[in-house]
Chains A and B, each alone.
Chain A
């Protein structure tokens, strides 16, 4: 940077340039705020500078080294600017030093009335030597190498400050520029908006092509109408609702991806023009209608007018989205609740299963667990009933969680009724609408003891008559006998026994046993695989004899006691009709025969739950005791009689001899015997 380079620059160029300036700026000494209009463009500022350049280019070639004299001053680095007096008079308020290859601001002497100063396209690194120009209104330092805003503290009248395309890193030292109308800082390295809050007359602020990552700290800019933030790295915008006059906001080519990050815009009533193109948000499907919906005051979006049609569409779509979001939120809430409940039930089930071995250690854990649950669910249970009610009324979708507590879960989903936890079995007592109940074809039991399920099977038969598919998971199916309990249902087409929690599946013969015992159902599928004719044959082959033995070889009374009341009538009927000729067949007979015929064979194969069985045995104990006593008494009697009999046997010969002897002795004396007999006869009378 050798000042000497520029010494020979003539002033003529400056004067011509001054003419260029003429075109744009009004000559009135105090330009009113409203009359100074600048169109700010993101690329190149379309205000004085460009025109200047254009003019300059036209004239420059012939304008070398005239008009302005930059003589060396006493200070080694600063050239001193001097103009010819005629120019001073002609253009007393403006001075153009464009493209003068200046590296420093020259000292400008005797130009205290200067109102317009143009330093465009130079290499100036610091703003200096202009403090004396206290009437300055327009200062243009576009395209220089300024690193810091400084040296402006005396320019209290400054209205337009153009510092575009420099190397400014920070907004500062603008405190005294309270009249500032236009501030252009585009093309710099500014990372933060600061120190502008006092600029209450500022109308245009250009911060395009900087390094801003967010927008805030805009309060105090009460006159701002245009804010240009294009080509930054902005991710969120704040404080814009504090700008009462802001009409145009340009946010193109930033990093905004959600509406939440610019939500303050919705609160700004003055905004009419906004651009978001080049942001990630503009690629989203919901972009347009979200913006339109939230910013009803907008007139232009991305430089295009917004039509009524667009607005209407936007509100419709927005409403739909809202609805969808609400529903999905509800559903996800429901799902979460379900998941938690199922986990809960599973945990309780596990505890229950291991209760026998770990009863001591688990007791405390269970207590604390249940306490936790009570505390946790004190709030959720109260919250949930309302939700279920509203769900019942509002939701038409397939999913309905009808009853959820922390211990069990009942869920009807289309054609499947799912029950988790033993408490869920109580739902069968509830009143179900015929439609809902009729639609249910699959019933799934999880985390419930099979023995408990057995007890509610009759209710299931009545309440859900169309249930054809039963699924069991974690139900503690351990013996083949338990399948006997399923025979009381009306019909089962499919059976799914999940290996998890059902040890019975490990047996080789379990499927055949099911097919055998439930042959009257004509099952289609077991655990997803189709039932073939061969399977049926095999089942019969394996267990047919069992059925035969169980029915035909059982004594009659035993048969009846096992089969119970329902079958008693049928059996009695058969008992009575056995005498009839086999050819005669009644209507009734046919039906009952078919029913009984199908089931008799296996009907004696029943399942009573362990508890029930033990109960029965307990009951019988009394009877057994009584029987024992009774028999003992009988035996005693019998043995006594036997003893007496034997004793008699032993004694009889002796007794007989005595009898005979007595008799003979009596008759020995005929006369006395006759007398005795007569006596006896008279005595009798």
Chain B
């Protein structure tokens, strides 16, 4: 607990690094917003619920974009929420356009900006026609990279442009780099013939970037891994590789692996229950093995903080007196 590095940071910065203040501010703001309602059942309870929801990742539902973007945890929660809510769309096999995905995003966040979705689409489509249809998994993983690492990607783009035009941002910072300094400026013709930039050079720049900047970056080791496989690569090639990399996905921790993307037994069971409630519906045979899974007790495949809490919450339903579960059972 009392590790030296913790004590090394001044208080305010420490709090800021952990984004504690963001949540505190937001909590107080929410409290102000709903004074009358919350005063009915107590402020302590409000704070409990608030921070519980922060932990569970449900605090970002229907919130404004500025809040969702505020912390990495928020972003990851949002990604996860999006996945959970619209996994069924992906499971159904529909290919949707960028605009439609944007619509779905807007269902959860009314003022989500279109540029982000567009950028994500560009990753999937490799900067081609932005109106093509995309599959759910492709879009989701690309969107994850774009949204979670937005600032990082912007810097990477800038670096890429510099490298393309021959400037090497490393010349100042890393004087010992041999290949960087003496590389002659490629003529325009040369640059157009060779696509992208050299991977190793790019890698070095990125490493420096990761060291320098405060916002979240993908783990440098994994980035290196991505770049080590190829000689040259384009910007979008790099992004696609990032989005498809399992390690990075796991490091993020928001989404399951690609193979398991359509799996969510707990919610599937919930869905079956909802379907059964449709008036006049004859019991339909559900497809897939999910229904036959043991309900809600299978150990989580992803080591994320969310799933166990979900189960715990269910267990606590009766004793805790939270109304959501009992509502469900009543209806």
Contact = CB atoms under 8 A, between A and B. Distances in A.
Interface of A: 479-481, 503-504, 506-509, 519, 522, 533, 536-538, 540-558, 560-562, 568, 572, 574-575, 578-579, 582, 593, 597, 600-601, 604-605, 608, 613-614, 617, 620, 623-624, 626-628, 630-631, 634-635, 638-639, 642-643
B281 A508 contact: no
Interface of B: 11-12, 15, 21, 24-26, 28-30, 32-34, 37-38, 40-41, 46, 49-50, 52-53, 56, 58-59, 61-62, 64, 81, 84-89, 92, 94-97, 99-100, 103-104, 106-107, 110-111, 267, 270-271, 274-275, 278-281, 284, 321-331
27 contacts: A481-B110, A504-B103, A506-B97, A536-B281, A545-B84, A545-B267, A545-B270, A545-B271, A548-B270, A551-B327, A554-B324, A555-B49, A557-B37, A557-B38, A557-B46, A558-B61, A560-B34, A561-B34, A562-B62, A575-B323, A582-B329, A601-B274, A605-B107, A614-B111, A617-B111, A631-B21, A631-B24
Contact of B11 (A578, A600, A642): A642
B104 A480 contact: yes
A597 B274 CA distance: 12
Given A507-B100, A507-B103, A613-B110, A604 B12 contact: no
A544 B88 contact: yes
A481 B103 contact: yes
A640 B57 CA distance: 32
A553 B323 contact: no
Contact of B274 (A547, A560, A572, A626): A547
Contact of A549 (B30, B49, B85, B280): B85
B25 A548 contact: no
B106 to A, nearest CB: 5
**Quick one: which of A538, A604, A635 has the most chain B CB within 10 A?**
A635
B12 A558 contact: no
A546 B86 contact: yes
Nearest to B66: A617
A548 B331 CA distance: 12
A522 B28 CA distance: 41
Top 8 A-B residue pairs of the complex, sorted by shortest distance between their CB atoms: A552-B324, A597-B331, A639-B11, A555-B53, A544-B274, A546-B85, A627-B28, A553-B58
B25 A574 contact: no
B21 to A, nearest CB: 6
A548 B99 CA distance: 24
A554 to B, nearest CB: 6
Contact of A620 (B29, B99, B103, B110): B29
B33 A561 contact: yes
Contacts, number: 179
B96 A508 contact: yes
Contact of A555 (B40, B58, B81, B104): B58
A545 B88 contact: yes
Contact of A542 (B37, B92, B99): B92
Contacts of A600: 327, 331
A366 to B, nearest CB: 28
Contacts of A479: 103, 106
Contacts of B85: 545-546, 549-550
A503 B99 CA distance: 10
A33 to B, nearest CB: 97
A617 B67 CA distance: 11
B37 A560 contact: yes
Given A507-B99, A623-B33, A624-B25, A553 B46 contact: no
A547 B61 CA distance: 12
B11 A593 contact: no
Contacts of A561: 30, 33-34, 37
Contacts of B327: 551-552, 574, 578, 600
Contacts of B30: 557-558, 561
B13 to A, nearest CB: 11
Contact of B330 (A550, A572, A597, A608): A597
B330 A582 contact: yes
Contacts of A572: 40
Contacts of B24: 631, 634
Given A540-B278, A545-B84, A554-B58, 10 more contacts: A481-B103, A503-B99, A504-B103, A547-B274, A548-B271, A549-B81, A557-B49, A561-B34, A628-B25, A631-B21
A576 B156 CA distance: 55
Contacts of A545: 84-85, 87-88, 267, 270-271
Contacts of B64: 617
Contacts of A533: 280-281
A548 B274 contact: yes
A579 B15 CA distance: 40
A635 B84 contact: no
A561 B267 CA distance: 25
Contacts of A601: 274, 331
A516 to B, nearest CB: 10
A507 B330 contact: no
A623 B61 contact: no
**Quick one: which of A533, A541, A613 has the most chain B CB within 10 A?**
A541
A556 B92 CA distance: 31
Contacts of A582: 329-330
Nearest to A503: B99
Nearest to A553: B58
A507 B62 contact: no
Given A537-B278, A578-B321, A600-B327, A639 B107 contact: no
Contacts of B11: 635, 638-639, 642-643
Contact of A553 (B34, B61, B321): B61
**Quick one: which of B15, B53, B62, B97 has the most chain A CB within 10 A?**
B62
Contacts of B330: 582, 593, 597
Contacts of B88: 541-545
Contacts of B53: 554-555, 558
B245 to A, nearest CB: 27
Nearest to B94: A508
A509 B96 contact: yes
Contacts of B275: 537, 540-541, 544
Contacts of A481: 103, 106-107, 110
Contacts of B59: 555
Contacts of B84: 545, 549
B25 A552 contact: no
A548 B28 contact: no
A545 B328 CA distance: 13
B29 A555 contact: no
A639 B12 contact: yes
